[in-house]
Amino acid sequence: MGIVSQEAIKQFQALIDQVDEPLKRTFQNVHQGYLVETFGRFLKARDSNVAKAHKMLVDCLNWRVQNDIDNILAKPIVPTELYRGVRDSQLIGLSGYSREGLPVFAIGVGLSTFDKASVHYYVQSHIQINEYRDRVILPSASKKYGKPITTCIKVLDMTGLKLSALSQIKLLTTISTIDDLNYPEKTNTYYIVNAPYIFSACWKVVKPLLQERTRKKVQVLSGCGRDELLEIMDYASLPHFCEGEGSGSSRNSQNGADNCFSLDHHFHQQLYTHIRQQSLMKESVQPIRHGSFHVDVPEAAAERTHIAKTIVSEFNKFGNQNGLSESLDGLKINGD
C-alpha cells in the first residue's frame, strides 16, 4: 500500500472519532474492522495529507448516508430478466483469487455495451458489486488467509474494443468518479490483456496524464496474459478470456457457469441470492420500493474529465486516420 506514517493515521482517527453517529454507523460498513488499512487508503489517495484525507472520507460518509448506500444490497434489480440483461452488457465477475488471497475481478471492457437498461441500473449494479466485495468477499478472504485483505486485482479484457465503445465514456466516467471518491485505492494492480492496436495507440497518450501511483498499478500484458498471470494465480482462477490465445470475452463456448460474467456463474448467483435475501429481511420490517436506485454522482475532477476528453480525441484521430465511419465528435463529457 505504500508507506503511511503511524502519526498520520493517529491524527486521522482522532478526527474521524468526532463525526456524528450516522457517519460512524456507515463507516463500519467501510472499514469492516480494518481501520488502519482504511485510513491508509484514504491517506494514500490524498498523498498523506491528513486534512485532505479527512475531508475525502467525511464526504464519502455523507454520500453514503444521503444515498442510503448501506441498504443498496437489499435492493435487487428486478425482474431477473432485467438483471440478466445488465449482466450480459456490463461484463464483470469474480474469477478467483491470487496466491496471496486477493480477489481477481475480470472486466470485459471491449465488449460491454451498456445498452440493456438505463444508466441508473448500471450504476446501481456497479455499487452493489463494490459493496459485496467490501462487506462479504474481502472479509471472507481475510478470515480464510489469516491476514487483512482489503484490495483486489482487476484483469481488463480489451477484446472487441472499437470506436463505438467510447460512446459510453460519460457512464464510465461516472462509475470511475464514484470509485475514486468513495472506494479509493481498492485495486492493487490492473492487468490489461487482449489489447488491440487502437488501445495501444490511445494508451501512449493517456498514460502520461495519469498520476504516478496509478501508472504503477497498470500492466499491459502480451496477448491473453496467461503466462504472466499464472505467476500470481492458479489456472483455476484465470478469467476465461485468459485461458489461451483466442479465448477473449466473445467466446460463446464459455457462456454459463464457466463464464464469470454470466448470471449463471456461482459468483453472480451468490451475489444475487444475497441481495434477494437482504431484500426479504428488509421487507419484513417495511416495504421496499423497487425500481432503479438513483445515486448522486459527485462532479468528476478536472483531471479525470481531461483524460476522458483526451481518450475521445485520440479515438477520433484513430478513426479518421483509418477511414472509419464511427465518430465521437458530438460526445459530451461530464455535462460539457
Segment 100-146, tens digit of pLDDT: 999 999 999 999 999 999 999 999 999 999 999 999 999 999 999 99
What is d(CA 231, CA 192) in angstroms, rounded to the nearest whole number? 15
Same domain for 161 and 231, yes or no, is yes
Cell of 267: 459468483
Query: Residue 323 has what pLDDT?
Result: 55
Domain finish residue from 67, 85, 115: 67
Same domain for 41 and 139, yes or no, is no
Same domain for 172 and 273, yes or no, is yes
Instruction: Classify residue 189: in a domain, yes or no.
Output: yes
Same domain for 225 and 118, yes or no, is yes
Confidence check: pLDDT of 335 > 50: no
Q: At CA 245, angle to CA 239 and CA 246, rounded to 5? A: 85
Cα 215 to chain center, whole Å? 17
Name the pTM for this structure.
0.89
Instruction: Classify residue 227: in a domain, yes or no.
Output: yes
Strand order across the beta sheet in which 218-220 lies? 92-97, 103-108, 152-157, 187-193, 218-220
Same domain for 226 and 186, yes or no, is yes
pLDDT bracket for residue 321 (50, 70, 90): low
Instruction: Classify residue 148: in a domain, yes or no.
Output: yes
Torsion from C-alpha of 264, 184, 135, 62, nearest 10 degrees: -120
Torsion from C-alpha of 67, 70, 72, 73, nearest 10 degrees: 170
Same domain for 28 and 142, yes or no, is no
What is d(CA 76, CA 83) in angstroms, rounded to the nearest whole number? 8
Cα 5 to chain center, whole Å? 27
Instruction: Classify residue 276: in a domain, yes or no.
Output: yes
Chain segment 66-86, per-residue pLDDT in tens: 999 999 999 999 999 999 999
- For 254, left (φ over 0), alpha (ψ -120 to 50), or beta? alpha
Which residues are registered as beta bridge partners of 280?
none
Q: Where are the alpha helices (DSSP H) in 75-168?
A: 80-89, 119-132, 138-145
Instruction: Classify residue 319: in a domain, yes or no.
Output: no
Same domain for 16 and 134, yes or no, is no
| Beta strand residue intervals within the chain, DSSP E | 92-97, 103-108, 152-157, 187-193, 218-220
Which residues are registered as beta bridge partners of 220?
192
Same domain for 103 and 150, yes or no, is yes
Full domain range(s) for residue 24: 6-67
Domain finish residue from 33, 48, 67: 67
Q: What is the CATH number of the domain that holds 109?
A: 3.40.525.10
SS3 for 168? helix
Same domain for 133 and 113, yes or no, is yes
Neighbours of 121 (CB within 10 A): 21
Q: What is the CATH number of the domain that holds 37?
A: 1.10.8
Instruction: Classify residue 310: in a domain, yes or no.
Output: no
Same domain for 139 and 61, yes or no, is no
Confidence check: pLDDT of 93 > 60: yes
Domain finish residue from 19, 47, 67: 67
Q: Where are the alpha helices (DSSP H) in 153-301?
A: 169-182, 197-206, 212-215, 226-229, 266-283
Same domain for 145 and 182, yes or no, is yes
Same domain for 268 and 134, yes or no, is yes
How many structural domains comprise the chain?
2
Specify the amino acid at residue 129.
I
Instruction: Classify residue 139: in a domain, yes or no.
Output: yes
Q: Quick one: angle between helices 6-16 and 35-45, nearest 10?
A: 100
Q: Give the chain's end-to-end CA distance (angstroms, integer).
A: 35
Instruction: Classify residue 36: in a domain, yes or no.
Output: yes
* Stretch 225-254: mean pLDDT: 80
Chain segment 166-176, per-residue pLDDT in tens: 678 889 889 99
- Residue given cell 488501445 in the structure block: 199
